[in-house]
Chain A
Amino acid sequence: MNKKVAVYRKEHFNAAHRLNNPLWDEATNKQVFGKCNNPHFHGHNYELVIKVTGEPDPQTGYVMDMKLLSDIAQENVLERFDHKNLNDDTAEFKDLNPTAENIAIVIYNILREKIDMKFDLQIRLYETERNFVDYPA
C-alpha cells in the first residue's frame, strides 16, 4: 500500500525585480515584458509553498520535521532573497531573467541539495495571488 504523504510548508519573501533580456534592444524588451520591464524595478510579495512527499517515519510520525524544513528555507532561500533586488543583489539572477518560472527552478535547485533524496520535492511560487508556478511540473 502506498503510504506516501505530502507535507507543505509556506514561507514568504518580499523582493524587487525587473524582466529584461540584455540581448534585446530596449524597444523589444518593452514590447515583450511590458510594464515588468521598468528600468527602476517593481516588486512583489512572493509566497513560497514547499511540498515534500514521503512515507511518515515510524518513530516520529513525521514525513519531515516542519521546523527543520522551515529552518532550511529560512537559511537558504529567504535570507538570500527577502528584501532584496533579485536582479542586482543575488548571484542566481545576475545572468538569468527573474521570472516566477526561473525563481521556482532556482529555489528548487537550492532546496534539493538540502533535502534528503528519499523525498520528492516540488515548489509552488506565487508572484501575486493570481500568478503562480509549479516546479517540477
Chain B
Amino acid sequence: MVYITRIEHFNAAHKLYNPAWSREKNEEVFGKCANENWHGHNFELFVTLKGDPDPDTGFVYDVKKLSIIVKEHVIDKLDHKNLNVDVDFMKDKLCSIENLVIGIWNELTPHLPAGVQLHSLKLSETPRIFVEYYGN
C-alpha cells in the first residue's frame, strides 16, 4: 500500500461568524476572524490517495488526472471566491477550515473513478494552521 499526495492551492476570502449570535458574541469567540467585511488566505489542499501501484503503469493513480478532477470539482469553486457567499456547498455552514475540509471531501469523492481510494485531505489556512480529514 502506497500513499500518494497531490497539492493544490486556492486563494479565498471568508469570515468566521455565527449568524445566530450578536456581533459582540461573534467578536468575543472568533476575534479578528469575525471581521464583517471579510479577510482572506492562501489555502493549500493536500489530496492523498492510497493503493497498490498498478503493475502496468507503476501508478497508484495518475496524479495529473487527479489534479484535473480536483481542479474541476473543488478548486474552480473556491479559488478567488468568497467562501461564505460564493460557494454552494458551504451555504448555511460556519466557514471554518474544519467544515470546509468536510465539504471538500463530500464534493470530491463522487467524482473519483471506481477503485480510487481517497485516504485523507489536509487543508492549510496559513503555514501554521491546518486540518486533516479521513472521511469519518
Q: Which chain A residues have a beta carbon within 8 Å of chain B's beta carbons?
A: 12, 14-17, 35-36, 38, 40-45, 82-85, 88-89, 128-129
Q: Can you sample 30 A-B contacts with CB below 8 Å?
A: A14-B126, A15-B39, A16-B39, A35-B79, A35-B80, A38-B86, A40-B81, A40-B82, A40-B86, A41-B40, A41-B82, A42-B13, A42-B40, A43-B11, A43-B12, A43-B13, A44-B11, A44-B40, A44-B41, A45-B126, A82-B32, A83-B33, A83-B39, A84-B37, A85-B13, A85-B35, A88-B37, A89-B37, A128-B9, A128-B11
The answer to whether A40 touches B85, judged by C-beta atoms less than 8 angstroms apart, is yes
Tell me which residues across on chain A come within 8 A of B41, comparing CB atoms: 14, 43-45
A16's contact among B37, B42, B86, by CB below 8 Å, is which?
B37
Tell me which residues across on chain B come within 8 A of A42, comparing CB atoms: 11-13, 40, 79-82
How many residue pairs at the A-B interface have CB separations less than 8 Å? 75
Count of residues in B whose CB is under 8 Å from the partner chain: 22
* Main SS at interface, chain B: strand
In the bound assembly, the distance between CA atoms of A14 and B38 in angstroms comes to 10
Known: A16-B82, A40-B81, A41-B13. 17 other contacts (CB 8 A): A14-B40, A16-B38, A38-B81, A40-B86, A41-B82, A42-B11, A42-B80, A42-B81, A43-B13, A43-B41, A44-B11, A44-B40, A44-B42, A45-B41, A83-B33, A85-B13, A85-B37
Tell me which residues across on chain A come within 8 A of B127, comparing CB atoms: 45
In the bound assembly, the distance between CA atoms of A38 and B84 in angstroms comes to 13
Q: Which of B11, B12, B35, B40 has the most CB of A within 10 A?
A: B40
In the bound assembly, the distance between CA atoms of A41 and B127 in angstroms comes to 22
B35's contact among A12, A35, A84, A129, by CB below 8 Å, is which?
A84
The answer to whether B39 touches A14, judged by C-beta atoms less than 8 angstroms apart, is yes
Tell me which residues across on chain A come within 8 A of B11, comparing CB atoms: 42-44, 128
The answer to whether B32 touches A16, judged by C-beta atoms less than 8 angstroms apart, is no
The answer to whether A15 touches B40, judged by C-beta atoms less than 8 angstroms apart, is yes
Closest chain A CB from B100 CB (angstroms) = 13
Q: Which of A14, A35, A128, A129 has the most CB of B within 10 A?
A: A14
Given A16-B13, A43-B11, CB of A38 within 8 Å of CB of B32: no
Tell me which residues across on chain B come within 8 A of A43, comparing CB atoms: 11-14, 38-41
Q: Which of B35, B42, B86 has the most CB of A within 10 A?
A: B42
Tell me which residues across on chain B come within 8 A of A44, comparing CB atoms: 11, 40-42
Closest to B40 in A: A43
In the bound assembly, the distance between CA atoms of A121 and B82 in angstroms comes to 35
B80's contact among A12, A36, A83, A85, by CB below 8 Å, is which?
A36
